[in-house]
Amino acid sequence: MRTTGNILIVEDDPDTREMVTSLLATEGFHVVAAEDGLEALHLLRTVQHRAPDVPCLVLLDLSMPRLGGHEFRRAQLGDPNVAGVPVAVMSGATDAEARALGLGAVATLTKPVDFDALLRVVRRYCAPGRSKGELALDPASETRGSSRRILSGPSRLSR
């Protein structure tokens, strides 16, 4: 399977970060991972300046040390060079969908993350042939209706 673009995963839990990275890499995606929003901003801006393709998607946890998901998103939207990179929220918070909507996220993936839903979101924004500025907005159907789950275990609640 040929894929295009980079995916930036922003997740402070090393097990979750590694699992999502491994699963997406197995599916042929190029993944860059950050453990918090501060590292993610640096990576996002560095990739934007050095690579021909900015990430096609950011997978963003909400609750992280140093710089959380809300602060990351605010800084991202304030930087015109990276403001257009779509963000999908990955969170165990009970109000994750509402919080993601407030951030302008294109999708919400609740933890434990449903692998099929994750792949649908990633493929929607990182599919071969999709132009950089082309958004593929679809209602929340992205995050429902799948049976295979990954990252099982207790979900952490984001604050």
Q: 105: number of CA atoms within 13 Å, CB side?
A: 29
22 Cβ contact list (under 8 Å, min separation 6) = none
Taking only the tens place, the pLDDT of each residue in 19-34 is 999 999 999 898 999 9
pTM of structure: 0.78
Pure H helices in the chain: 14-26, 37-50, 69-77, 96-103, 115-126
The 10 Å Cβ neighbour count of residue 93 is 22
Strands 57-60 and 30-34: unpaired
How many angstroms separate the CA atoms of 84 and 153, rounded?
A: 33
* Average pLDDT over every residue of 119-140: 64
Per-residue model confidence (pLDDT) at position 67: 83
Which has more confidence, 150 or 26? 26
Is residue 128 pLDDT above 80, yes or no? no
At 53, is the pLDDT very low, low, confident or very high (cuts 50, 70, 90)?
low
Taking only the tens place, the pLDDT of each residue in 62-108 is 988 888 889 999 999 999 988 999 999 999 999 999 999 999 999 99
* Average pLDDT over every residue of 26-46: 90
Q: 15: number of CA atoms within 13 Å, CB side?
A: 10
Closest to 145 measured CA to CA, from 115, 102, 122: 115
* Average pLDDT over every residue of 120-148: 55
CB 143 within 8 A of CB 117: yes
Domain layout of the chain by residue ranges: 6-143
Structurally, what CATH architecture does the domain formed by 6-143 represent?
3-Layer(aba) Sandwich (3.40)
At 129, is the pLDDT very low, low, confident or very high (cuts 50, 70, 90)?
low
Average pLDDT, the chain: 79
CA angle 33, 22, 57 (to 5 degrees): 45
At 44, is the pLDDT very low, low, confident or very high (cuts 50, 70, 90)?
confident
* Average pLDDT over every residue of 113-119: 93
Which has more confidence, 54 or 131? 54
Which has more confidence, 114 or 129? 114
Chain centroid to CA 144: 17
